Structure 1
C-alpha cells in the first residue's frame, strides 16, 4: 500500500472520531481538492491533446510534403523514362538509318563495280566486233559482189538467227511434249501396275474365300449326308418298331378272338 493510500486510510479513521460538521467540512475540502486535481488533470490532458493535435498536424503536413515529393519524384522518373525511351528510339532509328545507308553504299559500290565490269566487257566486245567489221568489209569487197552493204549481211544474219531461235523453240517444245508424254506413260504404267497388283490381291482374296466356301460346303454336305443316314436309320427303326407292334397287336387280337369263341361255345 502506497503512502497516499495510507494517508487516506488514516485520515478516514480520524474523521470517524470527529463530529459530523467537521466531517462534512473535511469532505467538502476533499471534494474541492479532488475537483482541483481533476481540473488540473483536465487542463493537462487538454494541453497534451493540443500538443498531440499540433504533432498530428505536423505529421499531416510532413505526409503531404512527402506525398508531393513522391509525386514530383514519380513525375521526374516518368520524364526520365520518356526521355530515355525517346533517346533509345532515336538511337535505334539512327542505327537503322546508318545500317540502311551502309547497305545502300555497299549496293552502290557493287553496282559501280558491275558497271565497270560491264564497261570492260563492252570494250572487249567492241574490240571483238571490229574484227567482224573488218571481215564484213572484206566480204563486201569480194569480186562476186553478192552483198552490196554490210546491213544486208546483218539482215541475213538476223534472219538466220531468228530462224535458228524458232527451230530451237520448236525443239524445246517437242522435247517438252516428249517429256510430258514419257511422264504420262510412266504414270499410266505405274497406275496399270498398281491396278494389276490390286487385282492380283483381289483374286488371291477371292481364291481364299472360294476355298473357305468349298470347305464349308463340303462340311455341310457331310453333315447333311450324316443327317440323312441318321434319318434313314431312325425311319428304319421306326418301321421295325411299328411292324413289331403290329405283329404283337395281331397276336394279341388272335388270342383275344379265340378266347371269346371258347367262351361263347360253353354258353
Structure 2
C-alpha cells in the first residue's frame, strides 16, 4: 500500500503527524535546495565575475590589438607614402637625368656644329686677312666687317623699301582696277540714264506733237465755230437791218444777235399772220 492509502486508513492524529513529518521533510528538502541554490548562485556569481574579468581582459587585449593594428596600418601608410614619394622622386630624377643627357647631347651637337663652322670660317678669316693686307682702304678686319654690316643693313632697308613700294603699287593697282570697274559701271549707268532720257524725250516729243495736233484741231474747230458764229451774227445783223428797213415799227438798235433774231422772228411771225389773214379774207370774197 502507498503512503496515501495508509494515511486514509489511519487516525486523524496519525495523519496529522504524518503530514507534519512530510511537511518537515519537504521543508528540509526546500532548505537543502535553497542552500544548494545559494551555493550554485554563489558559484555562478563567481563564474560570472570571472567571465566579466576575462571579458574585460579580452576587451583590453582587443583594444591593445586594435591599437597595434592601427599603428601598423599607420606605419604601413607612412611606408607606402614614403615608397610612393621615393618612387616619384626617383622618376623625377630619372626624367631630369634624361633631360640633362638630351641637353648634353644637344650641346655636344652644337659644339660639333660650332667647331665645324669655326673650321669653315677660318678660311674666311684667312681670306679677310689677305684682303686687308692687299687693300689700302681697310686697315683692320673689323673695318671690313663693319663696312659689310653697313652694306647688308642698307641692302635690307632697300629690300624692305622695295617690298613696301611693291605693296603700295599693288594697292594702287587694286584701287585702279576698282576705280576702272566703278567708272565703267558708272559710265554704263550714265549711258542707261541717257538712253532712258532719250526715250523719255522721244516720248515727250511724241506727246507734245500729239498735244500740238490736238491744239491745232481745237484751234481749227474754235476758228470754225468763231467763223460760223461771225457768219451767223452777220446774217442776224443783216436780217435785223432788213427788218428795221422794211418794218414800219421802230425797233431799238440791238447789238445782241439773239435779240436781233428775236426781232426777226417776231417780224416773220407777224408777216405770216398777215399772209394767213389776207389769204383768208380773199377766200371769203371769192365765195
TM-score above 0.5, yes or no: yes
**Aligned-pair CA distance for 1:176:** 9.5
In structure 2, distance between residues paired with 1:147 and 1:85: 78
Match of 2:77 among 85, 91, 94: 85
**Aligned-pair CA distance for 1:12:** 2.6
- So what's the TM-score if we normalise by structure 2? 0.52
**Aligned-pair CA distance for 1:52:** 1.8
Match of 1:59 among 51, 56, 69: 51
**Aligned-pair CA distance for 1:122:** 2.2
Q: Which residue of 2 aligns with 1:43?
A: 35
Runs of 4+ in 1 over 6 A off after TM superposition: 170-178
Greater Rg by CA: 2
Match of 2:98 among 100, 106, 115: 106
Q: Cα–Cα, structure 1 residues 133 and 64, in superposed 2: closer, same or farther, change >3 Å?
A: same
Does residue 155 of the first structure (1) align with residue 146 of the second (2)?
yes
Q: Which residue of 2 aligns with 1:240?
A: none
Q: Cα–Cα, structure 1 residues 33 and 57, in superposed 2: closer, same or farther, change >3 Å?
A: same
Gaps of 5+ in 2: 172-287
**Aligned-pair CA distance for 1:39:** 0.5
Q: With a CA cutoff of 8 Å and minimum separation of 6, indicate the structure with the bigger relative contact order.
A: 2
Q: Cα–Cα, structure 1 residues 109 and 82, in superposed 2: closer, same or farther, change >3 Å?
A: same
Matched residue of 1:141: which SS? Answer: helix
Matched residue of 2:134: which SS? Answer: coil
Superposed CA deviations along residues 84-108 of structure 1, whole A, max 9, x for unmatched, are 1111111111111222222222222
In structure 1, distance between residues paired with 2:164 and 2:61: 86
| RMSD of aligned residue pairs (Cα, Å) | 3.0
Does residue 12 of the first structure (1) align with residue 4 of the second (2)?
yes
State which drifts further: 20-29 or 70-79.
Answer: 20-29
Q: Cα–Cα, structure 1 residues 150 and 112, in superposed 2: closer, same or farther, change >3 Å?
A: same
In structure 1, distance between residues paired with 2:9 and 2:166: 150
Matched residue of 1:147: which SS? Answer: coil
In structure 2, distance between residues paired with 1:55 and 1:67: 18
Superposed CA deviations along residues 230-253 of structure 1, whole A, max 9, x for unmatched, are xxxxxxxxxxxxxxxxxxxxxxxx
Q: Which residue of 2 aligns with 1:208?
A: none
5 Å matches for 1:75-224?
Answer: 75-142=67-134, 145-166=136-157
Q: Cα–Cα, structure 1 residues 131 and 88, in superposed 2: closer, same or farther, change >3 Å?
A: same
Gaps of 5+ in 1: 1-6, 182-267
Superposed CA deviations along residues 176-198 of structure 1, whole A, max 9, x for unmatched, are 999xx9xxxxxxxxxxxxxxxxx
Does residue 31 of the first structure (1) align with residue 31 of the second (2)?
no
Q: Which residue of 2 aligns with 1:259?
A: none
- Residues matched between the structures, number: 171
